[in-house]
Amino acid sequence: MASTVGNAAPGKPIAIAVVGIGKIARDQHLPTIAGNDRFRFAATVSLSGANEGVPTFKTIPEMVAACPDVSAVAICTPPRGRLALIREALAHGLDVLVEKPPAATLSEAEAIAAAASGSGRVLYATWHSRAAPGVEPAREWVSGRNLDKVTVAWKEDVRVWHPGQEWIWEPGIGVFDPGINALSILTRVLPAPLLLDEATLGFPENKAAPIEAALKLTDAAGVPVEVDFNFDQRGPQTWEIAITSGDDTLRLTHGGGKMELNAVEQPLSSEGEYPRLYARFAELIDARQSEVDLSPFRLVADAFLLGRRTTLAAFDWNG
């Protein structure tokens, strides 16, 4: 998708509003925007009226009316409801960065891509884990090799990363909220498209979304990929992908922040994921180009289509 118009005056920082001021907006987006001189944090759109030292508005149209210099938004709300926000932002002439996953359903995600196409605005559907420093070096290592096996262990504690967020247990994403980060890396690093063979999804008896998932996939070249996702991991958190080729094993650990080749740590850039995402957003705005890849999300939808469901013990935020 590409277009030729834009709002940001040449040479001036891009005035950006952040929509949805929650954990990820505060942990990553606000500090990253503050540290990138291509952007100027200009406003928030916040149902709770978050006070971040800039004007705050309940809706995007109110924000646009009061802040005509704002030309971009970063959408950091939960996935459900994003389609309406993105359509509204595009219709008001804004370039849009959206947190992962791009939407609540595959049809909505496709509608988002369609809304951006031909709108004359930039849509950047981010996958923050793809911006981890080990991902591109791993992709280069994999390129041209015959792979034997890929294993993924992505296990974190929902209580730490989503404290009190009830939306995560609404019908839908659950453990795939972190798991899709691993899928976003796999779909970037592996050269051939992935197909889902089997899935098992474990649901707490009191929740409508899975807390664990095991997937068996095969890439189009026949390489088996085994995936283990868990949202109830106490103690050390695990975000690891191991790729075996003959006698060699490449391991991405720390969500792609570190890379080992045959147990020897490899040097990587120290630049963080979110600074890279915002640098990419500025590039896309300059080029008037959108970037939307739904392949990780499609695999999640496949897991819900094919997955066998098991019922697990009730989930307790204080358990």
Which of 6/133 has CB closer to ligand NAP? 133
Residue of 79, 133, 174, 210 that binds ligand NAP (CB under 6 A): 79
Least gap, CB of 109 to ligand NAP (angstroms): 12
Which of 156/219 has CB closer to ligand NAP? 156
Least gap, CB of 21 to ligand NAP (angstroms): 4
Residue of 20, 133, 202, 204 that binds ligand NAP (CB under 6 A): 20
Q: Does 114 bind ligand NAP (CB under 6 A)?
A: no
Near ligand NAP in 211-230, by CB under 6 A: none
Rounded CA-CA distance 194/215 in Å is: 11
Give the total of residues touching ligand NAP (CB under 6 A).
23
The answer to whether 190 touches 219, Cβ cutoff 8 Å, is yes
Rounded CA-CA distance 247/263 in Å is: 12
Residue whose C-beta lies closest to ligand NAP: 22
DSSP the chain: -B-S---SPTTSPEEEEEE--SHHIIIIIHHHHHT-TTEEEEEEE-TT---SSS-EESSHHHHHHH-TT--EEEE-S-STTHHHHHHHHHHTT-EEEEPSSS-SSHHHHHHHHHHHTTSSS-EEE--GGGGSTTHHHHHHHHTTPPP-EEEEEEE-BHHHHSTT-GGGGSSS-TTHHHHHHHHHHHHHHSSS-EEEEEEEEEEETT-SS-SEEEEEEEETT--EEEEEEESB--SS-EEEEEEEETTEEEEEEGGGTEEEETTEEPP-----HHHHHHHHHHHHHHHTB-B---HHHHHHHHHHHH-EEEEEPPP-TT-
Least gap, CB of 56 to ligand NAP (angstroms): 8
x/- contact string, 21-60, with ligand NAP (CB under 6 A)? xxxxx--------------------xxx-x----------
Give whole-number Cα distances, 36 to 10, 226, 267, 314, in Å. Answer: 16, 38, 25, 43
Q: Is the dihedral of CA 128, 111, 302, 309 positive or negative?
A: positive
Residue of 76, 86, 122, 300 that binds ligand NAP (CB under 6 A): 76
* Cα 243 off chain centre by: 22
Query: Is 100 annotated in the active site?
Result: yes
Q: Does 167 bind ligand NAP (CB under 6 A)?
A: yes
Least gap, CB of 277 to ligand NAP (angstroms): 10
Least gap, CB of 181 to ligand NAP (angstroms): 8
Q: Does 99 bind ligand NAP (CB under 6 A)?
A: yes
Q: Does 78 bind ligand NAP (CB under 6 A)?
A: yes
Residue from 100, 149, 216, 258 carrying the catalytic annotation: 100
x/- contact string, 120-149, with ligand NAP (CB under 6 A)? --------x---------------------
Q: Does 165 bind ligand NAP (CB under 6 A)?
A: yes
Q: Does 210 bind ligand NAP (CB under 6 A)?
A: no
Which of 78/134 has CB closer to ligand NAP? 78
Least gap, CB of 26 to ligand NAP (angstroms): 8
* Cα 155 off chain centre by: 16
Which of 48/206 has CB closer to ligand NAP? 48
Binding site for ligand NAP (CB under 6 A): 20-25, 46-48, 50, 76-79, 81, 99-100, 128, 161-162, 165, 167, 177
- Catalytic residue set: 100
